Structure 1
């Protein structure tokens, strides 16, 4: 095995997902993931703290996009619109990974501890957006409610994107969910 392997992180992610789908998450070892990727366990641990994190490694990017979009919105933008822009930005970033997201969802759905980890991830993203809103001067509970609503739209839109018509993008589903939430909140 050579010392330097191009795109080792991506290879580990693909190998892990393949093995999780073939054998199940619990029956897959780090050694098997590394072997499938043509890498060493040491290389695996340079990229991931454990085999769960292969499925959750993108959380930092989502966090950054959500927080930066909310924080960067002009002061004249309403809190809900700042959160809406943030979840649309995340959806746009994820669009090219539809098949990976589908397979990842399948693996997570089959494992209770991974489902729990997914809920923790969503809660952390909501908390981060709420904090960005508070930094913009939005008081609680409005900041927390707005962030939670944004994550709820994200979660439902994600399911619809995975299960719905291929011609609709993730961002299309987000926009539709946001519009439906606005309609509900307006009492129509």
Structure 2
């Protein structure tokens, strides 16, 4: 992948990255790979849910704003304190994204992974051991407020390989952070 920005970026020239979207879009897969390329920590946002939230989702009960509020605040606090980090977080509503921005207190770049319901359902059906059942996909899609007009959001369609998605994300991040998009991922500038 020689068209992506170089990894090990200095903390001064990149913002935290939130890989967002509904369940099944590939947030964890893409987030881990982005973090590797950037030399950043990766945090699985779902791991920050309270036990009560996890139990609710396992039971097929959608989370509401009251459930998600403390979780969004915890992720925002993480974005504020970690210098270089990539976090997976659904960030389904504009109000959640705005809250992440406010709590972080610094610029964030969102990578929105967008896909059709059919593609998302197929991906969720292939998973094992995940506490998010397929039955909650429709509630997530209903809750999702597309990030149209949000300048700090990069939208990438999921109907391509994870490698291609990461390459597109890296190129968009490089442009946003003022770097060349032809740098080698081996660290050369």
| TM tier, smaller | 0.3 to 0.5
More helix by share: 1
Structure number with larger C-alpha Rg: 1
Q: TM-score, normalised by structure 2?
A: 0.33
Q: TM-score, normalised by structure 1?
A: 0.33
Q: Which has the higher contact order (CA 8 A, sep 6+)?
A: 2
More strand by share: 2
